[in-house]
Structure 1
Amino acid sequence: MDKVINCFRKKPDAVARLICFPWAGGGSLPYARWGNIISSIEVYAVRLPGRESRVKEPFHQSMQQVVEEVITVLLPVLREKPFSLFGHSFGAMSCFAFAESLKKVHGIEPIHVFLSGASAPYSETRLSAPSRSSLSDEEFLHWMRTIGGTPPELLANPDAMKLFLPPLKADLHVVENYRCPRPETPFLSCPVFCFDGTQDIPHDLKAWNDMTSGDFNIQMLPGAHFYLREAANEKIILDNVTRHLETAEMDYL
């Protein structure tokens, strides 16, 4: 499991687990460090192939590959204690696909889903979005500058870009080719909470409500696409996650 899941701190007495899916091109470290911040939650950060300790492995080519690998690794431990999901951008799409497969195939459901920075995969806003993975490197870098969140010195470093661009484009290829129908009926009953940056491009957050019959909430925070990397916003998100999971854990028992 350690190859796919990065857990900085094992917490046998944690009230719940938070399984975090990376944004496009991202690794596990930004989320894994949350395990050092949230005392009551055990954080499992998903590490996809082609980055960090898996840098020599080929990238996944489809969302199905992403989901199947993570489910295969986590299925033996998912019934140990309540778990929840968090994903930003590409990670939000991965959360949806993971939760849908887990519920429909295995009958297992998270106690909460936290989604960030993305339209629902079946929304018209998402389906009409322009393709990015096929852009030239020059066009791609220009787009990355416009969405923010990547240090300018990194974007200006050709050697760093040779390492950074391939996993990013590979993940965007996966999400751009991911198709799923709008749920005719909700497949989850747990609460779903959406976060987004006020200065990011508009996302169809309300469409996420179709996945659950449970409570649904949206909170906008200041910033562009990578608003969650701002310390103040990260604190708000983690306080929100902790509060909801500690409350949900009491209901679960």
Structure 2
Amino acid sequence: MDKVINCFRKRPDAVARLICFPWAGGGSIHYARWGNSMSSIEVYSVRLPGRESRAREPFHQSMQQVVEEVVTVLLPVLREKPFALFGHSFGSMSCFAFAEFLKRAHGIEPIHIFLSGASAPYSKTRLSAPSRSALSDEEFLQWMSTIGGTPPDLLANPELMKLFLPSLKADLHVIENYRCPQPETPLLSCPVSCFDGTQDVPHDLKAWKDITSGDFTIQMLPGAHFYLKDAVNERIIQDHVTKHLESAEMDYM
């Protein structure tokens, strides 16, 4: 499991596990660090192939591959204690695909899903979004500079960008080819919390309500696409997650 899941801090007495899926091109370190500050939660951060210790492995080509790998690794432990999901952008799509498969194939459901920076996969906003994965490297870098979140010195370093761009484009290829019909009835019953940056391009967050019969909330925080990297915003998100998982644990018992 250690190849796919990065867990900085094992917490056998945690009230719940939080399984975090990376944004496009992202690794596992950012979310794994959350495990150091969320004392009541055990954080499992997903590490996809093609990055970090898996740098020599080929990238996944479809969302089905992403889901199948993570499910195979985590299924034996998912019934040990309550679990929740968190994802930003590409990670939000991965969260949903993971949750949908678990519910359909194994009858397992998270106690909460936290989604950030992405329209629902079946929304008109998402389906009409322009393709980015086929852009030239120069066009791609120009686009990245407009959405923020990538340090300028990294964008200006051709050698570093050669290492970073392949994983980002591979993940965008996965998300651009991922299709999911709008649910006719809710797939899940757990609460869903959505977050987004006030300066990001508009996302259809409301469409996520269709996936659940449970509580649904939207919270906007200051910043652009990578607003969650801001320390204040990150703390707000972590506090929100902790509060809801600690209260959900009482219901689960």
TM-score by length of 1: 1.00
Report Cα offsets for 1:189-244 as digits up to 9, x if no partner: 00000000000000000000000000000000000000000000000000000000
Alignment of 1:158-197 (within 5 A): 158-197=158-197
Percent identical among aligned pairs is: 84
Alignment of 1:116-131 (within 5 A): 116-131=116-131
Q: Aligned partners of 1:164, 1:158: CA distance in 2, in Å? A: 10
* Residue number in structure 1 paired with 2:57: 57
Q: Aligned partners of 1:195, 1:251: CA distance in 2, in Å? A: 24
1:142 corresponds to 2:138: no
* Residue number in structure 1 paired with 2:97: 97
Alignment of 1:71-86 (within 5 A): 71-86=71-86
* Residue number in structure 1 paired with 2:3: 3
Report Cα offsets for 1:12-70 as digits up to 9, x if no partner: 00000000000000000000000001000000000000000000000000000000000
**Displacement, 1:85?**
0.1
Q: Aligned partners of 1:16, 1:187: CA distance in 2, in Å? A: 22
Q: Aligned partners of 1:3, 1:208: CA distance in 2, in Å? A: 31
* Residue number in structure 1 paired with 2:224: 224
Q: Aligned partners of 1:155, 1:116: CA distance in 2, in Å? A: 24
* Residue number in structure 2 paired with 1:42: 42
* Residue number in structure 1 paired with 2:28: 28
**Displacement, 1:180?**
0.6
Instruction: Give the root-mean-square deviation of aligned CA atoms.
Output: 0.2
Report Cα offsets for 1:75-118 as digits up to 9, x if no partner: 00000000000000000000000000000000000000000000
* Residue number in structure 1 paired with 2:244: 244
Structure 1 SS opposite 2:33: helix
**Displacement, 1:8?**
0.2
Report Cα offsets for 1:140-183 as digits up to 9, x if no partner: 00000000000000000011001000000000000000001001
Structure 2 SS opposite 1:219: strand
Q: Aligned partners of 1:37, 1:140: CA distance in 2, in Å? A: 35
Q: Structure 1 residue runs of 4+, over 6 Å off? A: none
* Residue number in structure 2 paired with 1:201: 201
**Displacement, 1:74?**
0.1
Q: Which amino acid counterpart does residue 53 of structure 2 have in structure 1?
A: S
TM-score by length of 2: 1.00
Q: Aligned partners of 1:147, 1:242: CA distance in 2, in Å? A: 28
Q: Aligned partners of 1:186, 1:43: CA distance in 2, in Å? A: 27
**Displacement, 1:139?**
0.3
Q: Aligned partners of 1:42, 1:103: CA distance in 2, in Å? A: 22
Specify every segment of 5 or more residues in structure 1 that has no aligned partner in the other structure, as ranges.
none
